[in-house]
Amino acid sequence: MKTLNKHKFLLIAATGLMLTFTACKLPDVVQKTENREVPAAYNDMQQDTASIARLKWKEYFKDPYLDTLIGTALKNNQELNITLQEIEMTKNEIRARKGEYLPFIGLRAGAGADKVGRYTNIGAMEATTDIKPGKEMPEPVQDYMVGAYATWEIDIWNKLHNAKKAAVSRYLSSVEGRNFMVTNLIAEIANSYYELLALDNQLAIVNKNIDIQNNAFEIIKLQKQGARVTELAVKRFQAQLLNTQSLQFAIQQKITETESKINFLIGRFPQPVKRSTDSFESLTPNAVYAGLPSQLLENRPDVKQAELDLMAAKLDVKVAKAKFYPSLGISAGIGYRAFKPDYLIRPESLLYSLAGDLAAPLINRNAIKAEYKNANARQVQAIYNYERTILNAYIEVANQLAKIDNMKKAFDLKAQQVDALNQSVDISNDLFRYARADYMEVLMTQRDALESKFDLIEAKMQQMNAMVNIYRALGGGWN
């Protein structure tokens, strides 16, 4: 009993001594706490908790052709599927970290033979040893063994459990990364789809203007025959017609490239993209409810991803810090061992072992110090990344809200400009027909009218892009 108490005392004393040496003089590191504060509202807007981010993408986008494209992309997009495999890898990392704080148990079996020299201590003992009275030790000595063994590191400082928690945080972070990719993928397809509709309408405008300019060109040729205009006027009208015709092919090329981009996003080879044939100018953007800036912390996947990365980095610091402290390991084994297979199952062949060890770094801890400082630096880095992500999310929303308002005003003014220039085209044609305006006025008016129609389509596309981007900026689409 006294011997047992003595061993206990020695173990406690050794543990206390190790803690004294290892717990003191930890490296100094930078301490920083993340800032989670955001403004109370966007651009001095009235506060409202309603947010379009809570709408599913099928509820937000009403165009059936667009919905079909998005649904196909969520199944077939290669980059998204690559991310899903990365999520599986981080999930497997959890299993690996969990296994480290559980006992390792294994089975072992072996066989061999051993012949030692006669004039050695072991050889001399074997030569004078009888297994049974009158039965000498066999030579060479065979060796058969079967048994089980176990090792277990007692996680007294939660080092292994914290490593597992960090792996869980990184797994959840990868899931949020996938959600953020879904949000961006939906927005990219929607923007490309509306760009395609805009190009269709621009092509229709060009074709219509080609017909108008063809008629004007025929008229100017007749007037030249009647000596009302010179050859210069004919050539200027012809040049304008050729320029407008060349726009056809430039727009058709853009249509081909946009269709290819959409096909790539949905994971298929180039083919025509089915789309709405309705007037692009008549599209009305959805009503936007931005909610509160604080809701970005819950709705934006990239913000949640940065937060989970920060949690993992904090746990990594704890894991690195625990390496300064002693580690306690237990090992055990049990089995049978004999020089003859027939003896394996006899009680005399039983062997077992049980041992514990306490180890701690005392001298030359530079590697552990470097790992601890690196873990803390990564934590500070994760804090800055988290704050930057929140700031970027707020700015994106504020910009898109301003864009929605400004593009609406710009579109209304462009629509008035198009109406005025359409009337001026008719007026200039009538004045030219009665020789009250020269051909340059007609050409300039037609050119301005065409450019204004293009600008009107561009303004509408910017409106629709703002509608898509505010949905993405608020964190909609992944749920």
Nearest alpha-carbon partner for 321 in 163, 99, 100, 101: 163
Chain center to CA of 352: 52
Mean pLDDT of 106-130: 80
Domain ranges of the chain: 32-101+156-325+366-473, 106-154+326-359
End-to-end CA distance of the chain: 66
Is pLDDT of 12 > 60?
no
pLDDT at 311: 96
CATH code of the region 106-154+326-359: 2.20.200.10
Mean pLDDT of 77-83: 93
Give residue-wise pLDDT tens across range 168-179: 999 999 999 999
Residue 62 — φ and ψ, nearest 5°? -95, -10
Which strands, in side-by-side order, build the sheet including 104-114?
Answer: 104-114, 141-154, 327-338, 350-359
What is the C-alpha R_g of the chain?
40
Nearest alpha-carbon partner for 425 in 404, 446, 453: 446
State the average pLDDT for the chain: 86
Distance CA 476, CA 412 (A): 28
Nearest alpha-carbon partner for 393 in 296, 253, 279, 284: 296
Greater confidence (32 vs 251) lies with 251
Buried b (16+ CB within 10 A) or exposed e, 145-176: bbbeeeebbebebebbbbbbbbbbbbbbbbbb
Do strands 350-359 and 141-154 pair parallel, antiparallel, or not at all (unpaired)? unpaired
User: Could you tell me the pLDDT band of residue 46, with boundaries at 50, 70 and 90?
Assistant: low
Give percent of the chain with pLDDT exceeding 90.
Answer: 48
Give residue-wise pLDDT tens across range 290-342: 999 999 999 999 999 999 999 999 999 999 998 888 888 899 999 998 888 88
Residue in the structure block whose two tokens are 């704890």: 318
Q: Would you say the C-alpha torsion 5, 8, 10, 16 has a positive or negative sign?
A: negative
Nearest alpha-carbon partner for 184 in 79, 291, 269: 79
Angstrom CA distances, 438 to 224, 364, 426, stand at 13, 93, 14
Q: Are 244 and 216 in contact (CB under 8 A)?
A: no
Mean pLDDT of 408-432: 85
pLDDT at 348: 83
Which of 7-16, 209-218, 250-259, 424-433 is least confident? 7-16
Is pLDDT of 30 > 80?
no
Distance CA 180, CA 169 (A): 16
Region of 449 on the Ramachandran plot (φ > 0 left; ψ -120 to 50 alpha; else beta): alpha
Q: Would you say the C-alpha torsion 75, 78, 84, 88 has a positive or negative sign?
A: positive
Residue in the structure block whose two tokens are 């912390």: 297
Q: Are 44 and 350 in contact (CB under 8 A)?
A: no
CB atoms under 10 Å from CB of 250, counted, come to 12
Task: With both helix axes pointing from N to C terminus, report the angle between 159-225 and 439-473 in degrees, rounded to the nearest 10.
Answer: 170
Contacts of 460 (CB under 8 A, 6+ apart): 198, 280, 281, 283, 411
User: Could you tell me the pLDDT band of residue 220, with boundaries at 50, 70 and 90?
Assistant: confident
According to CATH, the topology of domain 32-101+156-325+366-473 is Outer membrane efflux proteins (OEP) (1.20.1600)
Q: Are 180 and 472 in contact (CB under 8 A)?
A: no
User: Could you tell me the pLDDT band of residue 255, with boundaries at 50, 70 and 90?
Assistant: very high
Task: Measure the CA angle with vertex 236, ends 234 and 242; round to 5°.
Answer: 100
User: DSSP letter at 186?
Assistant: H
Residue 351 — φ and ψ, nearest 5°? -140, 150
Q: Are 91 and 171 in contact (CB under 8 A)?
A: yes
